[in-house]
Amino acid sequence: MAKYFDVHPDNPQRRVIGQVAEIIRGGGLVAYPTDSCFALGCAIGNREGLDRIRSIRDLDDRHHFTLMCQDFAQLGHFVRLDNRVFRAVKASTPGSYTFILPATKEAPRRLLHPKKKTVGVRIPEHVVAQALLAELGEPLLSSTLLLPGEEKPLTQGWEIKEELEHVVDAVVDSGDCGTEPTTVVDFSQGEPEIVRRGAGDPTRFE
């Protein structure tokens, strides 16, 4: 049964954030808030966690998972950016954008698109998500908490706890967060291609 953590939205309790981080380090899967909507997250090297996310969301192997990064330096460790793409991504982070970019050798192979060798990355503008990433010291392997057959993601912590208490290990609730997934921009071919229009303003990439 999933543990439920009530976290202050502006001043996350460090003790609680530490408990959530320990669950993640121990191989757990958590539902946590971001600036776009709730996400499912596990440690970057957690193969079982990746499979659990696939199962919960009914995803195939072509789905782009996201590395939720604390800052731009961490993001740059896992993806390749030329100068023009660097400037475009830098100007839009942190924020409600996911960028699909060519992966470096540091990115785990099982996260990559099987043909394109790309991975999704983002830097959230959310106090609780940032506190958790800072505590972990590494990216969270993440995916939007959008259940099969649903058009909109779950947005209430208690609702997520009720719905997923037997398939996740923890739910982190800090009140209202976004209700719309990120805008996804594919830079893998050099020119920006808007894959999904969402919470981030897509016009800067048109």
The Cα–Cα gap between 112 and 40 comes to: 18
Range in 18-27, 107-116, 126-135 the model is least confident about: 107-116
User: What does the angle CA 93 – CA 97 – CA 99 come to, to the nearest 5 degrees?
Assistant: 95
In which band, very low, low, confident or very high, does the pLDDT at 177 lie, cut at 50, 70 and 90? confident
Give me the pLDDT at residue 61, please. 78
Residue found by looking up tokens 């830098």 in the block: 90
Q: Could you tell me if 119 and 107 are in contact, meaning their C-beta atoms sit under 8 angstroms apart?
A: yes
For residue 189 the two structure tokens come to 């071919």
Range in 47-51, 151-155, 193-197 the model is least confident about: 151-155
User: How does DSSP assign 78-93, residue by residue?
Assistant: TB---HHHHHHHHTT-
Mean pLDDT of 100-121: 90
Q: Could you tell me if 171 and 8 are in contact, meaning their C-beta atoms sit under 8 angstroms apart?
A: no
**Does the pLDDT value for residue 190 go beyond 90?**
no
* Domains of the chain (ranges, CATH numbers): 3-205 (3.90.870.10)
For residue 188 the two structure tokens come to 């893998």
Q: Residue 97: name the closest of 1, 187, 3, 5 by CA.
A: 187
The Cα–Cα gap between 67 and 132 comes to: 14
For residue 43 the two structure tokens come to 């440690």
**Does the pLDDT value for residue 47 go beyond 80?**
yes
pTM for this structure? 0.94
Give me the pLDDT at residue 71, please. 96
Give me the pLDDT at residue 114, please. 81
